[in-house]
Each structure stands twice: as C-alpha cells, then as structure tokens.
Amino acid sequence: MIQEELGYNINHYLCTYPAVAVVKGAAIFGLNPYMIKTRISKYTIGIGCNEIWDVFKHGLHSEKKYFDSEDNCFRCGDVFSPIIEKDQKIPVDKINSRNYKIKGSKSTISFYKTTFYNITFVDEKYNLLKYKCQKFGELTLDVGKKFDKNNRDLIIQLKLGGTFISVDIIYKNEIVKANFDFTKEN
C-alpha cells in the first residue's frame, strides 16, 4: 500500500518490532538532526496572560474581569495566548515569536500546553476534575532598574528543537534563555 500510494522509488522498511523502529529513528535523528526539516506540533503551546477586556472574546466571565488602574482600563486575567498551534507545520529552525507587555520589573511567565482547540482561558475544564491546559513551565523575569513604564515591550520566542523547546525572552535587548524538555512527559 505504501509503494502504491507514494511510488516505487522510495526506501521503506517493514518493521515487525515497533520499538526497534522508534530506537532506529532516534539514532538516525541523533546522527543527523537536520534530516527532519518540519515537525507537526502535538500541542498548542502558549502563555497565560492578561488582556484588555473584550466582551465578545471573554464572554460573561466577570470573575476574571478587573480594573487596571495603571493602564486605566478593564482587563481579563488567566487568558491563554497561543504561540504555536496544535497540528501546525513548523520548520525545525523556525522561531515563533509573540510580543507582550510586562507590568513591572518582575514578571512571572507561565507556559501551557493543550491538545484542545480554541482555548480562551488557562483554567478551562473539560470535566469537573480535569483542565484543558497543562502548565509545563514557568520563568521569572526580573529586569530590575531597567524597567521602563514607557517601554514595556517584551518578546517571547519559541524554537522547536529535537525533543525540547528553546525559549528566549527578550526585554530591552537582554535575553533570558530556557529549555523545556518533553522527553520526560507522563
């Protein structure tokens, strides 16, 4: 069936032991990681953030609505802001980035993953006990005296590697780096 579908001039292997196929694929990838050009994301990956209140987007979740006196507007808390979408084709070396604004000199950035589509909040449930999003990492960014109320722009860059995600958080040309390893998942 594979030859009929893809043609007869391709190399294919028939493996009677699937575990051997996985190990062989990992070994081939380890020897030449650039053999794989594109990955398909297993998860939607994003951060939890606060956005300006929008009744059409945030619905009737008044428990998440609060007044931000610094910006003089209403905001919505616990919003899921995706950076990479589930099933998105991502070149291995592509940097996926989003711009955000920080509130103060010290900010905690929580990273979430989900297999669900169209998530609005990080604490949405799909039944009484289970959440749709799972927190997989958290970074604390302390910019100290470099914090500027007039320049609060922050860039979060995600890069998919082999079995991990590399994260760069950039504020005023300074970079904080981290890696999230998905090989130790439950």
> Which tens digit of pLDDT belongs to each residue from 75-114?
999 999 999 999 998 887 788 899 998 888 888 899 999 9
- Summarised one tens digit per residue, pLDDT across range 161-178 is 666 788 888 888 888 888
Q: Decide if pLDDT at 184 tops 60.
A: no
Alpha helices (H) along 78-125:
none
Taking phi over 0 as left and psi of -120 to 50 as alpha, with beta for the rest, 40 belongs to beta
Domain boundaries, the chain: 2-181
pLDDT score at 165? 82
pLDDT band for position 131 (cuts 50, 70, 90)? very high
CATH class of the domain comprising 2-181: mainly beta
Q: Decide if pLDDT at 70 tops 90.
A: no
pLDDT score at 10? 67
pLDDT score at 162? 61
Q: Decide if pLDDT at 29 tops 70.
A: yes
Q: 10 Å Cβ neighbour count for 159?
A: 17
- Summarised one tens digit per residue, pLDDT across range 135-150 is 988 888 888 888 888 8
For residues 144 and 171, what is the distance between their CA atoms, to the nearest angstrom?
A: 11
Task: Name the amino acid, one letter, at 177.
Answer: K
Helix (H, G, I), strand (E, B) or coil at 58: helix
Residue holding tokens 């590399």?
166
Strand order across the beta sheet in which 44-52 lies? 65-68, 73-84, 44-52, 106-114, 134-142
pLDDT score at 132? 94
pLDDT score at 146? 84
